[in-house]
Structure 1
Amino acid sequence: MTRVRLRPTMQSDLDYVLTLERDPENLPYITPWEKIQHEAAIRFPDFRHFIVEAGPDLDRAGFLILIGCRNQHLSIELKRMVVQHKHQGFGRAALRVAKKVAFDDLGAHRFWLDVKKRNTRAKALYDSEGFQFEGELREAVKIEGGYDSLVVLSMLQSEFAQRRSRALELQA
């Protein structure tokens, strides 16, 4: 498995985060935030904003944002995950660490996300990592040339525990 860790995003990381969001390779799949939104996410206790560090030297490799970390229903959202270098396993490894954080550290009952329907690579990753289809928000986001739907996926704590018992997840 690719070596990955998450560390809290610092103010000094935000130019890197904004550059990743505005990269033409990523833009079709996300809705970029303004710098002030990222600054708020770093400070607001309900959010966890992380830099993904990966590889032998643990260089910056992307970022991810969790929302709902203080949600009374214990339902945490993976709001965004952007990886700089594709096809190297960093996304899968970061997702596994994010699941561990959500369930083990934050006590989530449910970990969920939505993904643009046309983002088939990300959808395939989430499917292969045990997320279950919940529904589709038809034509929910405006894109160049029309609209795209959002696919809602989730994993429950019991499903995570079952995957862990089969050695499909990081251990506690």
Structure 2
Amino acid sequence: MLLRLATLDDIPAILALERTPMAREFVGQWSEDRHRATLAGGNARYFVSETDWGEVQGYAILRGLQESSLAIELKRIVIAVPERGLGRRMLKEVMRIAFCELGAHRLFLDVYEDNARARHPYESLGFQYEGLMREAARREDHWCNLCLMSILETEYN
């Protein structure tokens, strides 16, 4: 099994992944309390991928599960070691979960405009560029643009 539902016990590992140098550049930094509240609330699901020996090697967050629009947001996908295909495999599984298990009509995300490493697998798996959100996120001492991307159920199938 590539992904399992995360529990509150996974929060320390999720925080550690989020705070790696590479993730800090492209992933928002949430507090432990915010992760706990989001995980415990009913509008999001966290998924983790583990090594054979049980170490968390990646996580993903889906939000908007209680929205009537059936639009689910892929809020985060973070992996410990890039360039090994885990992120792509996790993304494919998250897409399957969103459309086949959760009944999404639309799966959407935002990604830093300068994060080509992340944008490539989204595009190659069918996500479409919807527009630029100008200076929508703050990174260190400057504002950054975010690209809004989505894939529809009909495009996934």
Query: Does 2:61 align with 1:60?
Result: no
Query: Does 2:67 align with 1:36?
Result: no
How many pairs were matched up?
157
Deviation at 1:145, TM superposition (A): 4.2
TM-score, normalised relative to structure 2: 0.94
Gaps in structure 2 of 5+ consecutive residues: none
Counterpart-to-counterpart distance in 1, 2:96 and 2:50: 16
Q: Which residue identity is paired with 1:102?
A: A
2:149 aligned residue (124, 149, 153):
153
Q: Map residues 14-163 of structure 1 onto 2, 5 A cutoff.
A: 14-54=11-51, 59-161=55-157
3-state SS of 2:107 partner: strand
Gaps in structure 1 of 5+ consecutive residues: 162-172
Instruction: State the percentage of identical aligned residues.
Output: 36
TM-score, normalised relative to structure 1: 0.86
Deviations 1:4-59 (A, max 9, x none): 621111122111111111111110101111111111122111100111235x5664
Counterpart-to-counterpart distance in 1, 2:149 and 2:135: 16
Counterpart-to-counterpart distance in 2, 1:35 and 1:145: 23
Counterpart-to-counterpart distance in 2, 1:11 and 1:41: 10
Deviation at 1:60, TM superposition (A): 2.1
Counterpart-to-counterpart distance in 2, 1:32 and 1:60: 18
Q: Which residue identity is paired with 1:38?
A: H
3-state SS of 1:5 partner: coil
Q: Which residue identity is paired with 2:126?
A: G
Counterpart-to-counterpart distance in 2, 1:46 and 1:145: 31
Runs of 4+ in 1 over 4 A off after TM superposition: 56-59
RMSD: 1.4
